[in-house]
Structure 1
Amino acid sequence: MFDVVTGGAGFIGSHLVDTLVAQGNEVLVIDSLCSGRRETIARHIDSCKGRFVQKDLLGDGWQDSIRGADRLFHLAADPDVRQSAVNPDPTMQNNIMATYRVLEAMRQHGVPELVFTSTSTVYGDAAVIPTPESYTPLEPISVYGASKLACEALISAYCHSFGMKAWTFRFANIIGSRSGHGVITDFILKLRKDPAELEILGDGKQTKSYLEVHECVAAMLFAVGKARGTVNTFNIGSEDWIDVKSIAEIVAEEMHLTGTRFRFTGGDRGWVGDVPKMQLSIDRLKALRWKPQTGSRESVRIAVRDMLAEQQHGVS
């Protein structure tokens, strides 16, 4: 099996590469290293179990390398929801245009299958929680969410027009080692600077589903092996949720801090485009006989421990 992973030196992508290599697949990583780190996949490259092309998907010089691939995992994206409300252009370019270029390269070189990582933010402020994949209307409230929904539409059109197959995964909050952004990273950095006080965006009551990254990768590959429709869409997340204040408490506890004061910025949203409550229905995955082994609270604690260990000892 020849797999291509765009964004394969990034957070989720590098964990996916680990698993694909362990399965004995031939793996090609395409990554600009804008946010990814070569050291996360260096052992696979050094052992010749994986190949690496450092290219930006918005440029050229990578397209021919995917010729002959059986499946392409498209994880490369601009993942910053907050920044998409400040400067939308990088999100438009790195999400929508990059996905279009990937689809065109697949069409031209005959790559038959695509796995795409989308997001729970395509649902916007959903009125139904847990939110199923069939929920409508899809009204994103962030530029990031809108860009991912546009990518889903492009993928569907290409699959039906050019005989491809696709698996689209709408993620809850995926957390764990090698992550470079998100609430846990934010809290750890702030507490290292000032252990006495932690600023928490919003009122701390934002409540969402979290899942540890290894569970996420397992769910993706399980669904790809079971569902064989033209376009297969799945939510991936835990079956419960946790509020931001509780996450702050876990981070402080795992950093062995006592007496840390929490200072809330106020309001029910941490930033423009933030969704105060989010939990995804995973009934579609469960119908295939997959369910997560960890809940949100346990996923957070595992992720905090792994991220603190990673900072202490280097890339894991």
Structure 2
Amino acid sequence: MDLSDRTILLTGGAGLVGSELARELTAENDVLVVDDLSNGVRGCVPSSAEFVEGDISAAETLEGVVTSDIDVVIHCAAADKYVNSDEPRRQFESNVGMTHSLLEQVDDVGITDVVFTSSSTVYGEAPRPTPEDYAPLEPISAYGAAKLAEESILSVYAHTRDLSVWNFRFANVVAPRSGAGVIPDFVEKLERDPDTLTILGNGRQEKSYMHVEDCVDAIRHVTERAPHSAGPMQTYNLGTKTTTSVDRIADIVSEEMTLDPAYEYTGGDRGWAGDVPKMRLSVEKLSALGWQPEYSSDQAVRQVARELATAP
């Protein structure tokens, strides 16, 4: 699928990955961003993109933006993007309902290409490195369950309608403007108390961290090179071949802030209920298309920590 000279609808385009995609795509495409700003920031949407503030769960918004003028839908919107949600039932029902409604409208107006941003959380506590065809998929968080259910309804539409779906399962995507996650959490804690850093769990949790610029570059690379003949729904892991432990993140953040705090741990092998202690995605399928990340997991963490540590 060529992402140039197209009219693209980008849901959740004021969020972390969505806004980076908007910046990348507006040079060669007409991009319409829709976001209710519950998770996103209006200032992150580039001025070169058209912006509609609205909730795509609402029929009026959905019908207004998903029209026959749209060539491609990139679906980044999430009703609650946090793995450890305080309202797991609302999170599950809102996200699955939103995606199903979106697909109904996509089908009604005849759009044939959809890109979906899923998550490594669909795998649960799977063996590592985890390939795309690993089964059974047993998520341990409501967020992972919602993403898997959204993938399922996308698969139904891909196999029963004239629809091609590119499904991307993300590692932990990081950027200075993320606003949430372990890196900004550590920076904020050390700004308040430079001598002590409280770490959730035992610090040995270990995952793949991917810089948002690499994530967006990989999405574009795959959508432009993966052949339609590979099937109506194509799933790719997006991550790095390397991982970073929480303790290592603490070290990197401390180094970038030129601090030497004492570490205190809350205990246990996970930071919260539903946290997967160790995750590394197999990225062989992605590599086979000729793509490699610019940043390793440690480098992505350090780049974000450095930008946050020096921010005014």
TM over 0.5: yes
Q: Note if 1:138 corresponds to 2:142.
A: no
What TM-score, normalized by structure 1, do the two folds share? Answer: 0.92
Task: Report deviation, 1:188.
Answer: 1.4
User: Please, which runs of 5 or more residues in structure 1 have no aligned partner?
Assistant: none
- Alignment partner of 1:18 out of 11, 14, 23: 23
The residue that corresponds to 2:268 in the other structure is 267
The residue that corresponds to 1:92 in the other structure is 92
The residue that corresponds to 2:3 in the other structure is none
User: Please, which runs of 5 or more residues in structure 2 have no aligned partner?
Assistant: 1-5
CA-based RMSD: 1.2
CA contact (8 A) 1:55 1:61 kept: no
The residue that corresponds to 1:239 in the other structure is 241
SS at match of 1:81: coil
| Partners of 1:106 and 1:180 in 2: CA distance | 31
CA contact (8 A) 1:176 1:307 kept: no
Question: How many equivalent pairs are there?
Answer: 301
Instruction: State the identity as a percent.
Output: 44
The residue that corresponds to 1:221 in the other structure is 220
| Partners of 1:105 and 1:64 in 2: CA distance | 10
The residue that corresponds to 1:301 in the other structure is 302
| Partners of 2:179 and 2:239 in 1: CA distance | 19
The residue that corresponds to 2:49 in the other structure is 50
SS at match of 1:170: strand
Residues 50-109 of structure 1, C-alpha deviation per residue, up to 9 Å, x if partnerless?
Answer: 1111111221322232211111110011211112xx321331233211111111111112
| Partners of 2:60 and 2:187 in 1: CA distance | 38
- Regions of 4+ moved over 4 Å: none
CA contact (8 A) 1:5 1:75 kept: yes
Task: Report deviation, 1:291.
Answer: 1.6
| Partners of 2:94 and 2:217 in 1: CA distance | 26
CA contact (8 A) 1:57 1:98 kept: yes
CA contact (8 A) 1:82 1:271 kept: yes
What TM-score, normalized by structure 2, do the two folds share? Answer: 0.93
Residues 164-193 of structure 1, C-alpha deviation per residue, up to 9 Å, x if partnerless?
Answer: 110000011110122021111211121122
Q: Which amino acid aligns with 2:104?
A: E
CA contact (8 A) 2:132 2:282 kept: yes
| Partners of 1:146 and 1:164 in 2: CA distance | 23
Matching of residues 1-316 of structure 1 within 5 Å: 1-22=6-27, 24-41=28-45, 43-44=46-47, 49-62=48-61, 63-67=63-67, 68-77=69-78, 78-83=80-85, 86-127=86-127, 129-227=128-226, 228=228, 229-258=231-260, 260-309=261-310, 311-312=311-312
CA contact (8 A) 1:11 1:177 kept: no
